[in-house]
Amino acid sequence: MYGLGCVSVSQRLDVRKTYKLYIGGKFPRSESGRSYAVTDAKGEFVANASRASRKDARDAVVAARAAVPGWSGATPYNRGQVLYRVAEVMEGRAEQFAAEVAAGEGLRLSQARTAVSAAIDRWVWYAGWTDKLSQVVGGTNPVAGPYFNFSIPEATGVVAVLAPQDSSLLGLVSVVAPALAGGNVVVAVSSQRRPLPAITLAEALATSDVPGGVVNLLTGSAAEIGPWLAEHADVNAIDLTGVVGATEGDNAADAELARDLEAKAAGTLKRVRRPPLSVTQLDSPDWAAEPGLSRMTAFLETKTVWHPIGV
């Protein structure tokens, strides 16, 4: 039996963490067996991450589709409670998030802590909107005739999200949380160069009350996985925010990828949220700015109900 004083700190093995995918509430490696090296902002090796394949993307969509009835059918208040629980778990992992954000984005630790706090606050903000959306974007409509007429927002279904390449945690939270708040389930592709905070977020999701399949996180290339998600018939909507910087080339290559994904998405009549356009080129949003409701309403359908008065 080993005592506490048997091994000095200098003699300890370096216990490296394995970063896997998050699909259906589990942490599998890529079915292809592929991985890639993740480096910090200085180019130094940090970890190996799984490189998701199209088969992994299909598995994630299957898991997401199975989770739709339970998540969209839950009461908005209950969804808010579950999402708030995620923020609680994130708060407990704040230092781990800060270390990963600092390494990946080249920030000082104090700056990374500020970014992590903003991400947790952003998650709580969206959690608070779950039971308020219907009052704000729905309502009673005046109609000519003896009828009550109501407009009620409903979840679109399975939303594929290409997460931002530059903002590894705050940007990721800002595209995933609004889709969840509206009752959608998510298949997200993390930042390729900075995937570690995404998998740590997956660990927070797995240890909170979020049902398996509601959020599925893939690491790898958005340019490789995106086309398969865009043309998948069981995906209802796609957020193309992460195409900015996805090709690791110039902005023209990103724009070409965005056009290709839009064309593929049109084949199955998906809702598409385009990346922001600044004058003549694709641009990355200011993730620190007030988020507004547009990312929630982008993936909501409106159901109109007519009911005779007096019946």
CATH number of the domain encompassing residue 189: 3.40.605.10
pLDDT of residue 75: 96
pLDDT of residue 1: 47
**Would 298 be classed as within a structural domain?**
yes
Condensed to tens digits (0 to 9), the pLDDT of residues 195-222 reads 999 999 999 999 999 999 999 999 999 9
Condensed to tens digits (0 to 9), the pLDDT of residues 27-81 reads 999 999 999 999 999 999 999 999 999 999 999 999 999 999 999 999 999 999 9
**Would 117 be classed as within a structural domain?**
yes
Domain carrying residue 81: 20-28+52-308
As a whole number, the mean pLDDT across the chain is 91
Q: What mean pLDDT do residues 176-184 have?
A: 97
Residue with the bigger pLDDT between 45 and 15: it is: 45
Does the pLDDT of residue 279 top 50, yes or no?
Answer: no
pLDDT of residue 4: 54
**Would 150 be classed as within a structural domain?**
yes
Q: Phi first, then psi: what are they for 48, rounded to 5°?
A: -105, 140
**Would 2 be classed as within a structural domain?**
no
Angle at 53 between CA 45 and CA 21, to 5 degrees: 60
In SS3 terms, the chain reads as CCCCCCCCHHHCCCCCCCECCEECCECCCCCCCCEEEEECCCCCEEEEEECCCHHHHHHHHHHHHHHHHHHHHCCHHHHHHHHHHHHHHHHHCHHHHHHHHHHHHCCCHHHHHHHHHHHHHHHHHHHHHCCCHHHHHCEECCCCCCEEEEEEEEECCEEEEECCCCCCCHHHHHHHHHHHHCCCEEEEECCCCCCHHHHHHHHHHHCCCCCCCCEEEECCCHHHHHHHHHCCCCCCEEECHHHCCCCCCCHHHHHHHHHHHHHHHHCCCCEEECCCEECCEECCCCCCCCCCCHHHHCCEEEEEEEEECCC
**Would 229 be classed as within a structural domain?**
yes
Structural domains counted in the chain: 1
